[in-house]
């Protein structure tokens, strides 16, 4: 396929390697359908979860982190729409053919991805600190400050890449990924990107190990004391551990690909190399790692909240009953019922620890 005259220069030439020249069209349709299903589950699920966490009485850093995570996941479940269109159109770039859109989309999606990785690290680390030292108090201003500072750094990076000529790379449309990406010009940029995307999951994994070990020790104490409060705390900690584990499993393909990409770049191996030499790996390795796994993770998070958090499940059940018979008006009244004259059917009573209220 000659694409040099059909699309703008930032669209890479259609791959023409022996035995891997075309993707599997049925598989493209399947993956596109999966992304659509993730949107149908993830967008309403994350919006409802964000509303629940945001309206939690006595909201602390736990509820604040969950609210931000749900907001990021909502946008993530929506940002892949141009990729779905490309999958159903034999990977033709479509709106990605516009260079400005291609650049802005990659900046948005990459920022969402890195923020999500950082948020999970913050949630897991702060929870581990409290488990190890229960007397340690995490301030909401500290958590929000870390998140805002990290977001500022992420937005500053593309600006510096544009202003500093030696770092100025190009945004390209990749046929094998069905998305746009930033083409790094220097190995230093590869290293920085690997640290920002690859290091947080490693740190998160170690905090998960500490959490699991401490939970196993607390389980023995719980059997001896039979404390209800301690059981609630353990349930909240287990929920965060499951949330972290889901994140690590879904982001493992991306981490493996980044490590491979860094190694091949360092040793000067010509693309696609041995790892991507098969037809399936060439066309789907990066797509699954960067798109499918990330979006599936964002869509499954509210499902995990619903299954693990009893009060969120009750909140959804009551909200659903108010939405179906009475329409949007009664549903809005329910959302903000604690501020109106109408008393909602279900209302949380805050305790000293909001993490317990979420369960």
Burial 42-58 (b: 16+ CB within 10 A, else e): bbebbbbbbbbbbbbee
Averages of pLDDT over each 10 residues, the chain, 359 residues: 70 75 89 95 93 80 88 94 93 91 91 91 86 77 86 82 68 90 73 80 88 72 51 71 88 85 73 76 91 94 90 83 54 42 40 50
Token pair listed for 129: 């600190």
Reduce the DSSP state of residue 204 to 3 states and report it: helix
Provide the pLDDT for residue 346: 40
As a whole number of angstroms, the distance between CA 289 and CA 253 comes to: 5
Provide the pLDDT for residue 295: 94
Provide the pLDDT for residue 166: 58
Which among 306, 295, 300 is positioned nearest to 112, based on CA atoms? Answer: 295
As a whole number of angstroms, the distance between CA 150 and CA 336 comes to: 31
pTM as predicted: 0.81
CA angle 169, 151, 65 (to 5 degrees): 140
Provide the pLDDT for residue 332: 42
Provide the pLDDT for residue 167: 59
What is the dihedral angle through the alpha carbons of 122, 125, 127, 129, rounded to the nearest 10 degrees?
Answer: -130
List all residues 6 or more positions away from 226 whose beta carbon is below 8 Å from its beta carbon. Answer: none
Provide the pLDDT for residue 328: 43
Question: Given the DSSP bridges, would you call strands 179-183 and 170-174 parallel, antiparallel or unpaired?
Answer: antiparallel
What Å distances lie between residue 123 and 77, 128, 156, 243, CA to CA? 21, 9, 24, 10
List all residues 6 or more positions away from 322 whose beta carbon is below 8 Å from its beta carbon. Answer: 330, 331, 333, 334, 345
Provide the pLDDT for residue 318: 81
What Å distances lie between residue 269 and 145, 261, 263, 275, 283, CA to CA? 41, 10, 8, 11, 19
Provide the pLDDT for residue 47: 94
> What pairs with residue 195 in β-bridges?
none
Provide the pLDDT for residue 57: 72
DSSP string, 89-125: TTT--GGGGSHHHHHHHHHHHHHHHHHHHHHHHHHHH
């Amino acid at each position: 396929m000659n694409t040099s005259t059909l699309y703008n220069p930032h669209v890479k030439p259609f791959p023409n390697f022996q035995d891997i020249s075309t993707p599997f069209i049925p598989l493209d349709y399947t993956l596109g359908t999966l992304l659509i299903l993730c949107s149908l589950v993830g967008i309403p699920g994350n919006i409802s979860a964000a509303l629940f966490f945001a309206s939690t009485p006595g909201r602390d850093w736990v509820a604040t982190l969950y609210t931000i995570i749900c907001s990021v996941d909502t946008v993530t479940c929506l940002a892949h729409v141009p990729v779905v269109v490309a999958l159903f159109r034999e990977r033709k770039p479509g709106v990605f053919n516009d260079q400005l859109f291609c650049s802005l989309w990659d900046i948005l999606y990459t920022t969402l991805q890195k923020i999500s990785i950082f948020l999970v690290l913050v949630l897991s680390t702060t929870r581990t600190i409290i488990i190890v030292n229960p007397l340690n108090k995490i301030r909401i201003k500290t958590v929000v400050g870390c998140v805002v500072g990290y977001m500022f750094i992420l937005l500053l990076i593309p600006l510096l890449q544009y202003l500093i000529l030696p770092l100025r790379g190009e945004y390209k449309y990749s046929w094998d990924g069905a998305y746009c990406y930033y083409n790094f010009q220097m190995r230093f940029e590869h290293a920085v990107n690997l640290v920002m995307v690859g290091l947080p999951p490693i740190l998160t994994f170690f905090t998960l190990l500490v959490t699991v070990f401490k939970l196993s020790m607390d389980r023995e104490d719980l059997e001896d004391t039979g404390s209800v409060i301690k059981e609630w705390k353990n349930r909240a900690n287990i929920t965060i551990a499951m949330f972290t584990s889901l994140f690590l499993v879904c982001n493992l393909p991306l981490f493996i690909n980044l490590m491979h990409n860094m190694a091949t770049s360092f040793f000067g191996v010509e693309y696609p190399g041995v790892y991507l030499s098969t037809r399936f790996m060439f066309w789907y390795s990066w797509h699954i790692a960067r798109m499918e796994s990330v979006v599936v993770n964002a869509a499954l998070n509210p499902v995990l909240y619903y299954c693990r958090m009893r009060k969120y499940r009750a909140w959804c059940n009551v909200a659903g009953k108010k939405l179906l018979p009475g329409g949007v008006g009664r549903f809005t009244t329910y959302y903000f019922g604690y501020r109106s004259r109408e008393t909602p059917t279900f209302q949380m009573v805050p305790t000293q620890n909001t993490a317990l209220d979420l369960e």
